[in-house]
């Protein structure tokens, strides 16, 4: 599913950018963070998969908050004015009563809107909610005001370099892909001069007093291992919104897409429709690529931890660039390697050859294995015998080698690629013997 066309709703003199995806029988309004640019959100594969599932039961409506992204770059406004922006978006999208979904600091606007305009809200879904940003004697688990001042200064100084990762997911701060993706998000969302005033307005919000006035069905969720957003925020909302239901989801992250989004969407679907669909695993024909750095432990010991981390970061950038250039979809990293899928085997082979060549030039030898077969898509992961076979094929390859199965070799006939026989092999855990081939460019 591709990103829908961005449109504009008018609230007086201010234009609010919004988009509508799908045509489901219900509506879900996503209240994004202030660090937002909707079209960029769709470039993150895990978010795009989540967005593509929602239209199966509801239209997805989202918008860039005023002052951010593609909306008018006006000064930050209090929540009361932002509620008028929400009404303008709903009217422009032809939406009467959506389920409002919000995360972290966006939950304050969602709560106030639900309490003030219950006739325009069917239900409320809050993820990792924060009803008040700054700590007080009667709310000590929020942010310490002194530390927040230091945090604001660091954020302004490093804006555009992926500061959001450090703040929201510090365990991923060394991931060059995420740092680059969030850095671009920051630059597209607001300029550095707007960061401090926006963060100060957000820091002043406190919707604790209106929580008992919310009279729509409310779902409060968080991930059970989340250590960044204190659990007591969610518990406070659960205890003060009449009839609120509290669900802890598997995972550790307070950023939606950094853990499996399927459990959250399952809960959301039940809230929106009253039922939870039982879905059979999606079975697709795919080409599976595994890569792995050869001798990584020895190399890390040789160069030291810091230099190895830099080499590994550069390698991740290289692999992700190759995946993007050849239409590959990163599924996950596995230690020093990658698992990715392609909709065509020739593209997978060319991607693997490029990774092997460039990694070898960088002094990081890589091996790769490729197989085409039926896979099961389970959330953002893939499973099945085809995945297992591809992993075993890789295990037969040496440094700088790209091994493929007979299936891949047969499917790419006439592609200009060369395949040199490497004989039948017994693959551990796979019945029978498998003919394997080493891939190369025809010109090599």
The proportion of the chain whose per-residue pLDDT surpasses 70, expressed as a percent, equals: 98
Per-residue pLDDT, 12:
94
pLDDT in tens, 225-260: 998 999 999 999 999 999 999 999 988 889 888 888
Out of 236, 255, 273, a domain closes at: 273
Per-residue pLDDT, 443:
53
Question: Cα separation of 436 and 417, whole Å?
Answer: 15
* Tokens (6 digits) for 73: 């770059």
Taking a C-beta distance cutoff of 8 angstroms, is the pair 435, 376 a contact? Answer: no
Question: Cα separation of 205 and 310, whole Å?
Answer: 40
* Tokens (6 digits) for 5: 């066309």
Per-residue pLDDT, 179:
86
Q: Where do we find the tokens 């039948």?
A: 424
Per-residue pLDDT, 219:
97
Query: How many domains would you assign to the chain?
Result: 2
Out of 273, 293, 309, a domain closes at: 273
Which residues span the domain enclosing 227? 7-142+198-273
Q: Reduce the DSSP state of residue 16 to 3 states and report it.
A: strand
Q: What CATH code is carried by the domain that includes residue 82?
A: 3.40.50.1820
176-189 and 305-325 helices cross at what angle (nearest 10)? Answer: 70
> Which residues in the chain land under pLDDT 70?
1, 277-281, 379, 443-444
263 within a domain of the structure (yes/no): yes
Per-residue pLDDT, 280:
59
147 within a domain of the structure (yes/no): no
Per-residue pLDDT, 424:
92
Per-residue pLDDT, 378:
72
Question: Cα separation of 419 and 5, whole Å?
Answer: 44
Q: 335 and 410: one domain?
A: yes
Out of 273, 304, 334, a domain closes at: 273
Q: 424 and 328: one domain?
A: yes
pLDDT in tens, 417-430: 999 999 999 888 88
């Amino acid at each position: 599913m591709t990103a829908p066309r961005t449109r504009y709703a008018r609230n007086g003199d201010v234009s609010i950018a919004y988009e509508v995806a799908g045509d489901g029988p219900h509506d879900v309004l996503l209240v994004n963070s202030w660090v937002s640019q909707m079209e960029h959100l769709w470039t993150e594969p895990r978010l795009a998969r989540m967005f593509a599932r929602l239209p199966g039961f509801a239209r997805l409506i989202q918008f860039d908050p005023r002052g951010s992204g593609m909306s008018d770059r006006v000064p930050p406004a209090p929540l009361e004015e932002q509620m008028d922006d929400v009404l303008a978006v709903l009217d422009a999208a032809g939406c009467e009563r959506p389920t409002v979904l919000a995360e972290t600091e966006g939950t304050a606007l969602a709560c106030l809107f639900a309490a003030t305009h219950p006739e325009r809200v069917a239900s409320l879904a809050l993820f990792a909610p924060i009803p008040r940003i700054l700590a007080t004697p009667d709310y000590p688990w929020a942010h310490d005001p002194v530390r927040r001042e230091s945090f604001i200064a660091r954020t302004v100084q490093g804006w555009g370099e992926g500061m959001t990762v450090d703040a929201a997911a510090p365990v991923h701060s060394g991931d060059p892909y995420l740092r680059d993706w969030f850095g671009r998000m920051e630059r597209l969302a607001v300029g550095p001069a707007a960061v401090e005033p926006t963060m100060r307005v957000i820091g002043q919000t406190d919707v604790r007093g209106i929580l008992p006035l919310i009279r729509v069905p409310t779902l409060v969720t968080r991930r059970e291992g989340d250590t960044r957003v204190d659990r007591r925020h969610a518990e406070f909302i659960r205890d003060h919104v009449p009839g609120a239901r509290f669900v802890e989801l598997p995972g550790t992250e307070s950023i939606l897409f950094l853990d499996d989004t399927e459990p959250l969407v399952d809960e959301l679907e039940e809230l929106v429709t009253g039922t939870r669909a039982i879905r059979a695993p999606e079975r697709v024909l795919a080409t599976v690529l595994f890569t792995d750095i050869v001798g990584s432990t020895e190399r890390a010991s040789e160069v030291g931890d810091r230099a190895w981390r830099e080499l590994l970061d550069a390698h991740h950038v290289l692999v992700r660039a190759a995946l993007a250039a050849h239409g590959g979809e990163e599924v996950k990293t596995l230690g020093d390697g990658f698992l990715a899928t392609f909709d065509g085997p020739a593209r997978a082979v060319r991607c693997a050859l490029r990774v092997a060549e460039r990694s070898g030039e960088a002094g990081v030898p890589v091996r790769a294995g490729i197989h085409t077969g039926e896979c099961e898509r389970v959330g953002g992961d893939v499973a099945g015998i085809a995945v297992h076979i591809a992993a075993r094929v890789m295990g037969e390859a040496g440094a700088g080698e790209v091994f493929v199965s007979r299936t891949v070799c047969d499917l790419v006939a006439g592609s200009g690629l060369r395949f040199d026989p490497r004989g039948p092999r017994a693959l551990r855990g796979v019945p029978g013997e498998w003919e394997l081939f080493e891939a190369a460019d025809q010109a090599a």
